[in-house]
Amino acid sequence: MALRELSSLEKYLGLKKPNKYSTQGDKKVPVLQNVNGPPLVGLVTVACHLVREAKRPELLGDCAESRAVVQQWLEYRVTKLDGCTREDVKTILKDLNLYLQDKVYMAGNRFTLADTFMFYGIHPLIVDLAVQEKEQYVNVTRWFDHIQHYPGIRHPLPPVVVLRNKIYSSKHH
C-alpha cells in the first residue's frame, strides 16, 4: 500500500526514473537505498525526499507555520490513521470534520503533501461509508471530493461517489 502511494507520488511529481523500494519490518515500512548516504526509512521521510528531489518544496508548505502543519498531518497519518481500529474511525472522522470546517486544504491555503497522504490514508475509510454517514461528516466529504479530483492524485484508487445534494434532511429520520 505504502509503496503504491510512493509510486503514485513519483508519477505526480513527474520524476522520470522510478526508484526501487524495499520494505522492512512486519509493518512493511518502505526503505529507499540512497547512493549519497544512509538508506531512507519511513513513508514520510521518503516522500519528503522525493519532493525535494523533484524541486517542489512548496508541497511541503510555503511558510514556517504551514510547514509545521504539513509535518503534523504527515505524522498523524502514519501514527494515528494507519492501522486504526473500527472504534477509532468514528472519532477520527469527527475530529477531521471539525478541523476541516473552515479549511479548504489540510495545511495553509494550497495543496500540500499533507493533502495527498491524508487522502490516501482516509480513502479506505470513506469507501465504506454509507450515504447518510458521508452527509454527516460533510466537511471531510467535501475535502475528500476536492482532492480526489486533483489530476494525478487519485489513480489507481477507485473514485468515491459524492452526491451534490443532501438527501437526508436535518431532522433525524
Partner 1 sequence: MTKEEAQGAAEEEQQAQSKKGLKKQQKEAEKAAKKAEKQAKLADEQQSTEEDDFAKDRYGVSAMIQSQQKLDRVLVRIQDLSPEKADQLIWLRARVHTSRAKGKQCFLVLRQQQFNVQALVAVGDRASKQMVKFAANITKESIIDVEAFVRKVEQKIESCSQQDVELHIERIFVISQAEPRLPLQLEDAVRPDGEGEEEGRATVNQDTKLDNRVIDLRTTTSQAIFRLQSGVCLLFRDTLTKKGFVEIQTPKIISAASEGGANVFTVSYFKTSAYLAQSPQLYKQMCICADFDKVFCVGPVFRAEDSNTHRHLTEFVGLDIEMAFSYHYHEVIDSITDTMVQIFKGLRDNFQTEIQMVNKQFPSEPFKFLEPTLRLEYTEGLAMLHEAGVEMGDEEDLSTPNEKLLGRLVKEKYDTDFYVLDKYPLAVRPFYTMPDPNNPKYSNSYDMFMRGEEILSGAQRVHDAQLLTDRAVHHQIDLEKIKAYIDSFRYGAPPHGGGGIGLERVCMLYLGLHNIRQTSMFPRDPKRLTP
User: What residues line the site for partner 1 (CB under 8 A)?
Assistant: 130-131, 160-161, 163, 165-169, 171
Q: How far is the CB of 22 from partner 1 (least distance, A)?
A: 36
CB of 12 to partner 1, least distance (A): 25
Q: Show the CA angle centred on residue 72, arms to residues 110 and 45, nearest 5°.
A: 95
Q: Side-chain half-sphere of 117: how many Cα atoms within 13 Å?
A: 30
* Amino acid present at 172: H
- Tell the smallest beta-carbon distance from residue 164 to partner 1 (Å): 10
Residue among 15 and 131 whose Cβ is closer to partner 1? 131
> Cβ closer to partner 1: 1 or 127?
127
C-alpha closest to that of 25 among 69, 82, 108:
82
State which residue, 90 or 166, has the beta carbon closest to partner 1. 166
- How far apart are alpha carbons 54 and 2 in whole angstroms? 19
Give the residue with the Cβ less far from partner 1, 114 or 129.
129
Across the beta sheet with 21-24, the strand order is 21-24, 29-32, 40-41
Q: From the CB of 163, what's the least distance to partner 1, in Å?
A: 6
